[in-house]
Structure 1
């Protein structure tokens, strides 16, 4: 079974898009007095996970409607090829590629459907709201976040509206291009008590048997 993964870029102050859904800053040219990296970082080759390599393991994409609209408005070639996409929306997806389907359901149901579509490969979750909902529901296995050396000051925050504190484990840190840093993050999950429940509904011990005195 594949993993539920996130692959996303963020400004230093945690925004994935600026005001009015602006993402042009991700690739905008910078003035000569503001290089993205200096010193040894300026000459460091990238060793990060590229998008094409990431997508090679993806069998289905779960995307928020807002992100879908932004990507669609960019024009050019569809960046996701023939990978099936499920868009979280209750509105029609006019002009969408044949690989795109809309669905309106709780996040757990959407992830289940994306898992079915993926056929054992990874699920790529994209879009601030959908990522936040999946994180709150403890459905995300791994997040690859590339930090861009820009402070936006306003916009759409990556985890805006999270319902609780989430402990995150840093699994890897790599260089991405000129001056960017890529973090591989694993949401920590509290161990669950998965001991079987006896048929009579009474308590069970670690081996699934009734404790002494209750048999």
Structure 2
């Protein structure tokens, strides 16, 4: 059985909205602005994660975002991402944008549960905030890997929205990335 891993760049107050600044959010662009000299260490972390993944699981907008960027960028990380099988959850998408991708068009929880049974390794979820919320709500996330940027935005869409109940997690690893980023790994606590 596969393991669903949510990998997310996030601010200290949980905001994930518009890290690149391309979305028009007034506090957008925080990823580059607060990366400082940590770029190389962050890139190493991301490359190792991509090399350890079995596949990517994405929402439609994340498929479009990554497809656009990976078609014009190069490097080991981009090459690793392009090689991975991708599963895009969407009710409207006919053809995925990114290479080596399959669209999952059925009911999200059912489709992802079936996929989790078929895949043996890690299914990594990048970005895809609505998908992450659905997966969390239905206890399908096995691990969270959060790279925390040293900024409080005070506004913006956060990774987690309201849930029907508490979702207990257990911290299993911490790491400083470069000089200013924290990488926190949590697993789902099976029993609280």
TM-score scaled by length of structure 2:
0.77
Per-residue CA deviation, residues 15-67 of structure 1 (Å, 9 max, x unaligned), is 1124837663212378xxxxx69xxxx9xx95997111112221121111232
8 Å contact from structure 1 (residues 14, 158) kept in 2: yes
Q: Structure 1 residues 95 and 60 mapped into 2: Cα distance closer, same or farther (>3 Å)?
A: closer
Measured in 2, the distance between the counterparts of 1:47 and 1:83 equals 20
Pairwise mapping of residues 143-154 of structure 1 onto structure 2 (< 5 A)? 143-154=144-155
How many residues align structurally? 179
Q: Tell me the SS of whatever aligns to 2:33.
A: coil
Q: Tell me the SS of whatever aligns to 1:157.
A: coil
Query: Larger C-alpha radius of gyration, 1 or 2?
Result: 1
The residue number in structure 2 matching 1:90 is 91
CA RMSD of aligned residues (A): 3.1
Which blocks of at least 5 consecutive residues in structure 2 are unaligned?
none
Q: Structure 1 residues 69 and 166 mapped into 2: Cα distance closer, same or farther (>3 Å)?
A: same
8 Å contact from structure 1 (residues 138, 189) kept in 2: no
Distance apart, 1:9 and its partner CA: 0.9
Which blocks of at least 5 consecutive residues in structure 1 are unaligned?
31-35, 192-215
Per-residue CA deviation, residues 140-168 of structure 1 (Å, 9 max, x unaligned), is 11111010012222222101233322112
The residue number in structure 2 matching 1:26 is 31
The residue number in structure 2 matching 1:77 is 73
TM-score scaled by length of structure 1:
0.70
Pairwise mapping of residues 114-133 of structure 1 onto structure 2 (< 5 A)? 114-115=115-116, 118=119, 120-126=120-126, 127-133=128-134
Looking at secondary structure, tell me which structure has more helix per residue: 2
